[in-house]
A and B are shown apart, each in its own frame.
Chain A
């Protein structure tokens, strides 16, 4: 570490922060706030609330599909960086899956930070080329009759999948429904869980 300080990311990060703070461009407190919110608060449970609400309220579902950014704001969530949120609904004959082929764009407000595999070259390159094979590796085998749509996120538009509501959940309350919604189901590499 001491022999190669310029290649040491920890040292470089520390130097960058110190310089930017000295110049008054950021404060360490603002960085603390961002880190804390992503570590402790913002995560896929917010997306699960959005999905469960859309399952029980058909009008909300329509608004969500028409304007994702405005609809999640109704529940108090805001996609940062001014990005649009496009929500795409799964149906018996259509399955949606989300990727960012260039880097790692992702709907942070509703899903938190992306899992490591979402950022991997393997996922980014293969899910576009052979989505059914990749989905199969996640344990999601789709019949040939189901159309697979792959959505490529970018810095302006982020996508979230609205998974299908599992069967036999008519009696469940919205909060119980949200517990069935997994992060992977909102990326489109899985389904919502079946009730126990």
Chain B
């Protein structure tokens, strides 16, 4: 473990050399940006105190590191967000699963439609940049 830890720090300058905005790579993928924005927007809308999210994130980070799970920072962030939304009763697990299944079906249907007719149907009004 300590070898890989040392190697990570030794590699810092290379990480710093990644493409940057404002001096730093901000988000690696569009979903990371959305997951970030959802957590902040819910807090700023008064849905929860920042500490509640922050502690949940720290717990996700600690659990992953204890278990040696090589998840990314934003995967842990997303898990903290989902767990908090469930714990606060903002959504239920059943709703989340159903929505993921809906979007998945829509995606398949969407792909078929596209192949057949070239028509693209928007997904539930979610912006294209999503």
Residues of A participating in the B interface, judged by any CB pair closer than 8 Å: 2, 5-6, 9-20, 23, 25-28, 30-35, 38-40, 42-45, 80-83, 102-105, 112-117, 119-123, 125-126, 134, 137-138, 154-156, 183
> Do B95 and A14 have beta carbons less than 8 Å apart?
no
B91's contact among A16, A45, A102, A122, by CB below 8 Å, is which? A16
Closest CB in chain B relative to A54 CB, distance in Å = 20
| CA A113 to CA B126, docked complex, whole Å | 25
Interface of A is mostly: helix
Residues of B participating in the A interface, judged by any CB pair closer than 8 Å: 5-6, 8-10, 12, 15-16, 18, 21-27, 29-31, 33-38, 40-45, 47, 50-51, 54-55, 57-58, 61-62, 65, 73-75, 78, 81-82, 85, 90-91, 95-97, 99-104, 107-108, 123-127, 130
B103's contact among A15, A126, A183, by CB below 8 Å, is which? A15
What residues of B have a CB within 8 angstroms of the CB of A43 in the complex? 21-24
> Do A20 and B127 have beta carbons less than 8 Å apart?
no
> Do A26 and B41 have beta carbons less than 8 Å apart?
yes
> Do B73 and A119 have beta carbons less than 8 Å apart?
yes
| CA A19 to CA B125, docked complex, whole Å | 12
